[in-house]
Amino acid sequence: MDRRLHIKVPPRAGKGEIVRVMTKLNHPMESGWRRRQSGEIVPKELINEFVCELDGKEVFRAELDSGTAGNPYLSFYIRVQKSGMVRFTWRGEQGELYQGEAPIEVA
């Protein structure tokens, strides 16, 4: 897992329970409009897509744009029916890929 990617998934849940999952990516999210003191433009560097999957099935998706703050943080809820792996994928405009996963056990 990339050290810039942070994820939080509860380790256990009941069958059919709705659980909160959280993720944050340490990333500057530069729009390409900001200038340095020297006058040069800071190059554009954006993350534009986030996908969360539970055992290979997409359960949440977000499209991000230039208005997204640096170090984007997402918190959302998913319903779990069985134990499995929750996978987080962030994709950037220049092909960057940041992935992480965490197990969840359903009792």
- Report pLDDT for 45: 87
Each residue of 79-88: pLDDT tens digit?
999 999 999 9
- Report pLDDT for 57: 97
Full set of structural domains in the chain with CATH: 1-48+62-88 (2.60.40.10)
Q: Which residues touch 7 (CB under 8 Å, ≥6 apart)?
A: 1, 21, 22, 23, 86, 88, 100, 101, 102
Each residue of 40-81: pLDDT tens digit?
998 888 999 999 999 999 999 999 988 888 999 999 999 999
Q: What is the mean pLDDT of the chain?
A: 93
| pTM as predicted | 0.88
